[in-house]
Structure 1
């Protein structure tokens, strides 16, 4: 939810086979109720700024490659309260979704430019370029790639000074639950980085405010 303004790892195996299970395996750190906390960098030529961000997963359907949740930005300069948005996500599983977005104004060149910013992606690139990675076997890959698209504001109006026109390219680490992402919107500062860590709500004493989603 930016202001509108003008991990190196190799896969255990990257296979071209389409037999068997080629989708990413379910990950316990990517499940309903799981919470994440971190920052989003919204730096531009005019300023250097990072917002504190909390994310909670509200829904997850592995077979459909779908998940959804809420994102809360806590220290947005022009907002009197934390700004909460509801987002829906696509899991790049080569069955339901590939690495090519095909919407939201993103070209294949935009896709490759953003995915390659994740150190875990380059080993996949040769098989992604022809068709978005339809032949990739991601079942044992230690990272899950996703797109998150904010759908609406939960607790503020559209006149809050923020935009949700774009979407996030996301890379999730199955080993520690960390999330890295880059926001894409041609009308916002490029490559705004999202960095989140998985948190234990009970152990760390962290909790989100309660919001009713409709």
Structure 2
């Protein structure tokens, strides 16, 4: 949720599905499951590192076979909002079956993709293969990190005049070992490389383990 003020935004309807290859899905990880909660910050300016919002994320649903997940994101100290701002997002799991490292929508070019994925140290061993074809021929089923894209779809509790935009999306890297999440927001019209840093919150879970859901 970046700081550019807009009057409205319309999420892309492009599904972005890649051709199936029959490879296994990303590793099943108990720390990335429906109902899991994460908390941390998002630096809303790449130049002012002390300017950060507190952010809470909850996974609402996940479907590894189809490379899909969804959840909610709450920003707690947004300057232009009277209350915490909650958005609903849908995600793509980079698995080589459903989605590759190349976004091919949302105004992101392959060069943008490589530039953002390369911000994650865990991506370095994959770089040469991804540069060739986006990672279509890669088996990520045993890789200790899961790469994703999160695209906010709509505001849950505020109107589109809240002073924020959800026109962009997040490049996300999830650590299977400790449940930590790092991400970078991409929107050509917003501050570049806004960093998202989240830690898994111990506790109970509630959510759906399939892609059919209802957000109450």
Q: TM-score range by the shorter chain?
A: 0.7 to 0.9
Q: Match of 1:139?
A: 141
Post-superposition Cα deviations, 1:13-58, rounded to whole Å, max 9, x if no partner, equal xxxxxx9844311111110000000000012557841000000000
2:22 and 2:97 in contact (8 A); partners too: no
| Structure 2 SS opposite 1:4 | coil
CA contact (8 A) 1:22 1:136 kept: no
1:82 aligns with 84
1:116-141 CA distances to partner (integer Å, 9 max, x unpaired)? 00000010011111111011111110
Look up the match of 1:148.
150
The residue that corresponds to 1:33 in the other structure is 35
Give the structure 2 partner of residue 206 of structure 1.
none
Aligned to 2:185: 183
Cα distance, 1:201 vs structure 2? 3.3
Change (3 A) 1:46 1:145: closer
State the superposition RMSD in angstroms: 1.9
Residue of structure 2 in register with 1:4 after alignment: 4
Q: Taking structure 1 as reference, are residues 25 and 44 closer, same or farther at Cα in structure 2, changes over 3 Å only?
A: closer
Residue by residue over 1:140-169, the C-alpha shift from the partner in whole angstroms, topping out at 9 and shown as x without a partner, is: 100000000000000000000000000000
Cα deviation for residue 111 of structure 1 reads 0.1
Residue 186 of structure 1: how far off its partner (Å): 0.5
Which string of whole-angstrom CA distances, capped at 9 and with x for unpartnered residues, describes residues 63-90 of structure 1? 0000000000000011110000000000
Runs of 4+ off more than 2 Å:
19-23, 44-48
Runs of 5+ unmatched residues, structure 2: 6-20, 205-213
Q: Answer whether contact 1:98 1:133 (CA < 8 A) is retained.
A: yes
- Higher relative contact order structure (alpha carbons within 8 Å, sequence separation ≥ 6): 2
Pairing 1:38-117 to 2, within 5 Å after superposition: 38-43=40-45, 45=47, 48-117=50-119
Structure-1 separation of matches of 2:113 and 2:153: 20
Q: Please state if 1:160 is matched with 2:138.
A: no
Aligned to 1:15: none
Which secondary structure state, in structure 2, belongs to the residue aligned with residue 168 of structure 1? strand
Instruction: Tell me the TM-score normalised to structure 2 length.
Output: 0.85
Count of residue pairs brought into register by the alignment: 193
Q: Is the 8 A contact 2:179 2:200 kept in 1?
A: yes
In the alignment, the residues of structure 1 paired with residue 134 and residue 120 of structure 2 have an alpha-carbon distance, to the nearest angstrom, of: 16
In 1: Cα distance, 2:49 partner to 2:102 partner = 32
